[in-house]
Amino acid sequence: MDILSLFVVVPVITILALFLAKGLKQSRIVAMAGSLVQLAMAFHLVYAYVKERAINDDIMVFMRDVVWYEDFNIHYAIGVDGISVALITLTAIVVLAGVFISWMMEDLPKEFFVSLIVLATGVYGFFISIDLFTMFVFYEIAVIPMYLLIGIWGTGPKEHAAMKLTLMLMGASAVLLVGILGIYLNSNADGGPLTFNILEIAQVNIPFAAQQLFFPLTFIGFAVLGALFPFHTWSPDGHASAPTAVSMLHAGVLMKLGGYGVFRVAMFLLPEGAMDWSWFFIILSATGVIYGALGAVRQTDLKYINAYSSVSHLGMVLFALLMLNKTAWTGAILQSLSHGFMTALFFALIGMIYGRTKTRDIYKLGGLLKVIPFISVVYVIAGMASLGLPGFSGFTAEMNIFVGAFQHTDMFHRVATIVSISAIVVTAVYILRVIGLMLMGPVKSEFKDLPKVRWYEVTGILLLLIPITALGVAPLWISDLIMESIKPFIQGVIQ
């Protein structure tokens, strides 16, 4: 068994083991053990990758190729570069944190953990695939458990939210499928056989007309998952209804699939299309950045605030990807990682606050710093990280993006960049608004004694907080790791 396929096999084994487990206690132990193994594997993968990279100069390493369906030349083709390794590590951490946060999932625990790990399987598979079709299959595997997770374990108008989320994402995948098939059917432009393999397609000069046609489809197909304005509306409703761990996984990991897909498929395979269309999507994403931030200012529900904040931050990812240069792309990947940890942390904290106070309305909360200091302090830290405070991951990511975006000298890019930068002020406004209203202020009588934070909550929080700080304090190695992997991609665009 090669090192990458394990990332699909281990979750599947975990799921099988979960079927044997009984009750909450057993299933959570099994889920935790499975996720721990995955995390260990992720760390080992980082180590192995760095070692392998030193001697191997390919775009992807640890490649493996098994024919899956011969008639259409579909392969189970896997391989990783620095970007996927980083995102896999992110996934492993967030999944484990999610398991810890759901430690007390009373309701159908077994089924919950199964769905959670199915989702994780899809995500891992997506990140390791280099075959478009396999990638798409894993993408669907990741998206579909969402419906169950929200529909069954959610709160509020959960059926509606689940339906909306699933339908919008399915609609996007329909568009995406057209895009992928378009790429596939044009992959013989240089006379070779039709193929789904990304690396092989990248060698082919897909005709410009096809690129122009299929780039927007592929881009939108992925970007809906990355909450591209104006296709973001599933995210606030979905997050508001989803249970905590699902919000974490969804915002933290699943939404990254969008940016990753845009990068790996749309940008890499259709560079000319990307250049041709970039102006349009830059407008959308820059609008999304500022729009999400401004939208968050007016919300009163914590989860909504966070969802809009995600729209803004992920808009930044897409914006950076569209800048088509190395610095901005590094920033985009860093932002994906950073946002993944941060937003997962946020949702975890919100879940804890909600679990204790039974409300998410910031006007109803108040003075929590005194009552549940640990959660509140971490919330402040997460808030500071989110508004791009140096020393946390958000800052390094955003600076890369801004500096990268500034490499374009024309007026259009300048204006878009400045619009995006100005979102950091608005971000400060809504973060501080939440901190001011919810955490500070006089203690409200109904929240005088809330339960203390528990060990599993602390573990979950620390799992997320440590990477945020690590990325922020010492970004050099990770940014170099990513930049190294971006080089082959950027060459396609420069040509």
Partner 1 sequence: MNFSYTILIPLIPFVVFLILGLNHKRIKPAVSGYIGVFGLMASAFLSYFTAYKYFFTVPKIDGIYQQITHKTVWMNFTDTLHIDMGVLIDPISIMMLIVVTTISLLVHIYSRGYMKGDPGYTKFFAFLGLFTFSMLGLVLATNLFQIYIFWELVGVSSFLLIGYYYTKPSAIIAAKKAFIVTRFADLFFLIGIITIGFYTGTFDFETLNDPTGEVITNWASTSFMGLSVLTWALILIFIGGAGKSAMFPLHIWLPDAMEGPTPVSALIHAATMVVAGVYLVARLFPMYYFIEDGFALNIVAYVGGFSSLFAAIIAITQKDIKRVLAFSTMSQIGYMMMALGVSGYDGHEGVGYMASMFHLFTHSMFKALLFLGAGSVIHAVHSNMMGDMGNLKKYMPITNITFLIAAFAIAGVPPFAGFWSKDEILVAAFEYSKPLYAVGLIVAGLTAFYMFRLYFSIFHGKKTAYKHTPHEAPASMTFPLLFLAVMSVVAGFIPFSNFVTANKEPFEAHLNYPLAAIAVATGLIGIILAYVFYKNPTEYPAKCRKAFGSFYKWAYAKFYMDELYFFVTRKIIFNCVSQPIAWFDKNVIDAFMEGIGSGTLKASEKTKKMQSGYFQDYAMAFVGGVVVISIVLIYIFKN
- Please tell me whether residue 436 binds partner 1 under the rule CB under 8 A: yes
- Please tell me whether residue 494 binds partner 1 under the rule CB under 8 A: no
Are 367 and 408 a contacting pair, CB within 8 Å? no
- Please tell me whether residue 48 binds partner 1 under the rule CB under 8 A: no
Alpha-carbon span 28 to 211, nearest angstrom: 47
**Which of 483, 485, 489, 490 touches partner 1 by CB under 8 A?**
483
**Which of 367, 394, 460, 467 touches partner 1 by CB under 8 A?**
367
- Please tell me whether residue 82 binds partner 1 under the rule CB under 8 A: no
- Please tell me whether residue 396 binds partner 1 under the rule CB under 8 A: yes
- Please tell me whether residue 297 binds partner 1 under the rule CB under 8 A: yes
- Please tell me whether residue 369 binds partner 1 under the rule CB under 8 A: yes
> Which residue, 351 or 475, is less far from partner 1 as judged by CB?
475
> Which residue, 48 or 170, is less far from partner 1 as judged by CB?
170
Options 15-23, 162-170, 183-191, 272-280: segment touching partner 1 (CB under 8 A): 162-170
Smallest distance from the beta carbon of 479 to partner 1, in angstroms?
6
Options 88-96, 139-147, 207-215, 367-375: segment touching partner 1 (CB under 8 A): 367-375
**Cα-atom radius of gyration of the chain, to the nearest Å?**
21
- Please tell me whether residue 450 binds partner 1 under the rule CB under 8 A: no
> Which residue, 62 or 489, is less far from partner 1 as judged by CB?
489
- Please tell me whether residue 313 binds partner 1 under the rule CB under 8 A: no
- Beta strands at 74-80 and 61-69: parallel, antiparallel or unpaired: antiparallel
Smallest distance from the beta carbon of 355 to partner 1, in angstroms?
23
Options 19-27, 172-180, 208-216, 475-483: segment touching partner 1 (CB under 8 A): 475-483
Smallest distance from the beta carbon of 432 to partner 1, in angstroms?
5
- Please tell me whether residue 95 binds partner 1 under the rule CB under 8 A: no
Smallest distance from the beta carbon of 344 to partner 1, in angstroms?
22
Are 199 and 59 a contacting pair, CB within 8 Å? yes
Residues 223-252, mask of contacts with partner 1 (x by CB under 8 A) = ------xxxxxx--x---------------
> Which residue, 157 or 207, is less far from partner 1 as judged by CB?
157
- Judging by beta carbons within 10 Å of its beta carbon (0-12, 13-18, 19+), is residue 260 exposed, middle or buried? buried
Smallest distance from the beta carbon of 465 to partner 1, in angstroms?
12
> Which residue, 98 or 221, is less far from partner 1 as judged by CB?
221
For residue 329, which amino acid is it? W
For residue 114, which amino acid is it? V
Distances (CA, A) of 31 to 111, 112, 120, 226: 11, 10, 12, 27
What part of residues 397-416 is at the interface with partner 1 (CB under 8 A)?
A: 399-400, 402-404, 406-407
> Which residue, 175 or 439, is less far from partner 1 as judged by CB?
439
Closest by alpha carbon to 252, among 373, 344, 372, 134?
A: 344
**Which of 327, 343, 386, 485 touches partner 1 by CB under 8 A?**
327
**Which of 358, 429, 448, 454 touches partner 1 by CB under 8 A?**
429
**Which of 170, 213, 428, 450 touches partner 1 by CB under 8 A?**
428
Residues 253-292, mask of contacts with partner 1 (x by CB under 8 A) = --------------------------------------x-
Smallest distance from the beta carbon of 452 to partner 1, in angstroms?
12
Closest by alpha carbon to 278, among 238, 331, 347, 329?
A: 329
> Which residue, 125 or 388, is less far from partner 1 as judged by CB?
388
- Please tell me whether residue 12 binds partner 1 under the rule CB under 8 A: no
> Which residue, 181 or 380, is less far from partner 1 as judged by CB?
380
- Chain residues binding partner 1 by CB under 8 A are 163-164, 167-168, 229-234, 237, 291, 294-295, 297-299, 326-327, 367, 369-370, 384, 387-391, 395-396, 399-400, 402-404, 406-407, 418, 421-422, 424-425, 428-429, 432-433, 436, 439-443, 475-476, 479-480, 483
